[in-house]
Amino acid sequence: MSMIKILDSTGKADPELEPNISKEKLVKMLEYMILVRLLDEKGMRLQRQGRISFSIPSTGQEATQIGAVAALSPEDWIFPAYREPGMAFYRGLPLEDLVNHWFINEKDPQKGRRLPGLFGSKQFRYVNPSAPIGTQIIQAAGAGYAHKYLSENLVDIVFFGDGATSSSDFHSGLNFGAVFKTPTIFFCQNNQWAISVPLSRQTGATSLVDKAQGYGLPGVQVDGNDILAVYNVVKEAVKRAKAGDGPTFIEAVTYRAGPHTSSDDPTRYRPKEELEKWKKLDPISRFEKYLRAKGYITQEGIEEIRSSFDNKLNNLISEAEKLKPPSLKTLFSDVYSELPWHLEEQFNELNALKGRNA
């Protein structure tokens, strides 16, 4: 199977495959790619300075998340792994929600209960991801079955890495989706490394997309650093799902340019030459060249986008650091509609203990 691509390394598009997307939408897609890159830079720097505890970068994988979300309807559900934060912001999630989440303060929508970077929003249909590998695959297949059962014209897209294709949840999710023709898009971000395990030690298959055939699914391999190609294949998968034709498996071939998380040192296992090769295929640079050639944006305009997001994030970080941690009572809330007597008693004991130790 040949890999689908539209933009070459110089940003020139194949006219026969180039999608019809408005200038405004194309520029918005670039804006959120730039934001994702900037969030990575800020998050890693803050963690290294000891100001936040953890960061999960997605540098090099901006085209997959933004290309995909741009092809969805706002009503469709997203089941992320943890390298797709740009999808939530593209849909309107406020940046301050993430910054407060980083600092685990009193305005953190997750109330300090989630590892920084593992956040979700029911309003924007961005499901809270889990740290265990692949669990979201069966959740998305199940949600897809529910949409079909309830005659809802909705699609679920679920993201996972190449490492997750070796998990039992991958098998269960794809098999279930194929059998019951759920409106699910199984989107594999093949970034070449499952933490420190290379793809060659992950599977004996020639390519991950070959796995689709065994489940009776259509499989598509796409250049994951080509945002227009990602947009096209997701748009087609949405069309299939909403027509009742069932799931699609997409393998987006991309590269994790940074560490797995802020707790990882990729220089210990990854060849420097490999990283340098993939840097030349940077998805943001390729898309910028395309938009500049079409006259949709200038280099000055690109710099203004980055500067605007940079200033906004700096202000949000400054404010977030001033806030207190979440209230102790949040440890006991969101379990019952009304706090029962035994949890109220535990909270009072904890509060008294805190007062004695103050």
Residue 88: partners with Cβ closer than 8 Å, 6 or more residues away: 78, 80, 119, 121, 124, 126
pLDDT tops 90 at residue 275: yes
Active site (catalytic) residues: 256, 260, 269
pLDDT digits (tens, 9 = 90+) for 218-257: 999 999 999 999 999 999 999 999 999 999 999 999 999 9
pLDDT given for residue 202 in this prediction: 86
| Mean pLDDT, residues 327-342 | 91
Mean pLDDT for the chain overall: 96
The separation between CA 298 and the C-alpha centre of its own chain, rounded to angstroms, equals: 28
What is the phi/psi pair of residue 143, to 5°?
-65, -40
pLDDT digits (tens, 9 = 90+) for 63-84: 999 999 999 999 999 999 999 9
Distance linking the first and last C-alpha atoms of the chain = 65
How far apart, in whole angstroms, are the C-alpha atoms of residue 26 and residue 345? 55
The full set of domain ranges for the chain reads 23-326, 331-358
How far apart, in whole angstroms, are the C-alpha atoms of residue 17 and residue 5? 8
pLDDT given for residue 256 in this prediction: 97
Which CA distances in Å does 135 have to 23, 85, 160?
37, 18, 9
DSSP state, residue 75? T
pTM: 0.95
pLDDT given for residue 334 in this prediction: 85
pLDDT given for residue 335 in this prediction: 83
What is the CATH code for 23-326? 3.40.50.970
- Residue 320 falls in which region: left (phi positive, over 0), alpha (psi -120 to 50) or beta: alpha
| Mean pLDDT, residues 330-357 | 90
pLDDT digits (tens, 9 = 90+) for 105-128: 999 999 999 999 999 999 999 999
- The confidence band for 267, taking pLDDT boundaries of 50, 70 and 90, is very high
- Residues 77 and 156: beta-carbon distance below 8 Å: yes
In terms of Cβ atoms closer than 10 Å to its own Cβ (0-12, 13-18, 19+), residue 83 is buried
How far apart, in whole angstroms, are the C-alpha atoms of residue 275 and residue 285? 16
